């Protein structure tokens, strides 16, 4: 009973439950465990994560819409794709750290520069104190290389995460454009909405000055949904 992502099959089950299994907790559909695209059983390391995934299956109507089943898709990615490519995933997170959004302050206006400084400096200080990550900041968009030891430390932190956490960490890093914010979310230093807002302070300032259209409203709402979902995922791993 493999579950692919391309088709939209009709719902073929009635009951959804969770059962202890090797490696954690299995999601079951009418007593059977669905399989990933590579035929691995859908087993989550914690009951909380299994419950998030089970809720998605339980919430399906007549058709199974896997495209909207965020937790299930993330679990399948962690089960199938991340284990053989952990180093590459960690390298990508370190690449984001090399041009982390928190390290590029605006040149103007002064109000935005002040806003970024007040909002970002506490997180940068936290990263240095708690994670031993020392980042350098600049103003403008000209690339400023980070120290090799800082990027190596980010890579090591990513590799220290298990597959479920590493998958979400990579997703959060891409969403925020910031490995620092992703690590802060993973460790509960920030909630999802705050991390997202910190990543887009310049956009927020522009919206406050000029407003936004319906497309921007929908995009921002979707990003907030993603950030809150990632927060719930990390909390489910705790």
pLDDT of 9 reads 87
47 and 127 belong to one structural domain = no
Final residue in a domain of this structure, among 7, 40, 68: 68
Specify whether the CB–CB gap between 18 and 47 falls below 8 A.
Answer: yes
pLDDT of 6 reads 52
Does the structure show a pLDDT above 70 at 110? yes
3-state secondary structure of 133: coil
* Number of domains composing the chain: 2
92 and 185 belong to one structural domain = yes
Q: What is the mean pLDDT of residues 33-38?
A: 95
Beta strands in 12-125 (DSSP E): 16-21, 24-29, 43-44, 104-105
Retrieve residue 188's tokens: 């509960």
CA distances from 166 to 52, 86, 154, 220 (A): 18, 8, 12, 24
37 and 116 belong to one structural domain = no
57 and 88 belong to one structural domain = no
pLDDT of 55 reads 98
209 and 153 belong to one structural domain = yes
Residue range(s) defining the domain that contains residue 53: 16-68
pLDDT of 7 reads 60
| 74 is a domain residue | no
- Torsions phi, psi of 81, nearest 5? -95, -35
CATH code for the domain in which residue 117 is found = 1.10.3580.10
Can you say whether residue 90 is alpha, beta or left, with left for phi > 0 and alpha for psi between -120 and 50 degrees? Answer: alpha
Instruction: Tally Cβ neighbours within 10 Å of residue 142.
Output: 7
| 77 is a domain residue | no
């Amino acid at each position: 009973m493999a579950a692919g992502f391309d088709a939209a099959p009709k719902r073929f089950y009635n009951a959804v439950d969770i059962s202890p299994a090797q490696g954690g907790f299995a999601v079951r559909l009418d007593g059977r465990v669905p399989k990933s695209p590579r035929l691995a059983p859908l087993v989550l390391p914690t009951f909380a994560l299994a419950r998030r995934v089970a809720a998605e299956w339980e919430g399906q109507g007549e058709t199974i819409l896997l495209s909207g089943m965020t937790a299930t898709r993330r679990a399948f990615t962690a089960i199938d794709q991340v284990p053989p490519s952990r180093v590459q995933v960690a390298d990508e997170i370190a690449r984001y750290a090399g041009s982390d959004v928190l390290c590029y302050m605006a040149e103007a206006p002064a109000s935005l520069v002040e806003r970024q400084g007040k909002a970002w400096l506490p997180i940068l200080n936290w990263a240095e104190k708690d994670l031993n990550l020392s980042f350098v900041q600049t103003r403008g968009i000209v690339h400023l290389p980070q120290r090799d030891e800082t990027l190596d430390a980010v890579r090591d932190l990513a590799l220290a995460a298990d597959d479920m956490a590493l998958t979400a960490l990579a997703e959060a890093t891409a969403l925020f454009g910031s490995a620092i914010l992703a690590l802060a979310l993973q460790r509960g230093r920030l909630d999802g909405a705050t991390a997202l807002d910190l990543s887009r302070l310049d956009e927020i300032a522009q919206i406050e000055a000029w407003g936004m259209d319906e497309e921007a409203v929908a995009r921002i709402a979707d990003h907030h949904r993603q950030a809150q979902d990632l927060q719930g995922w990390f909390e489910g791993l705790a």
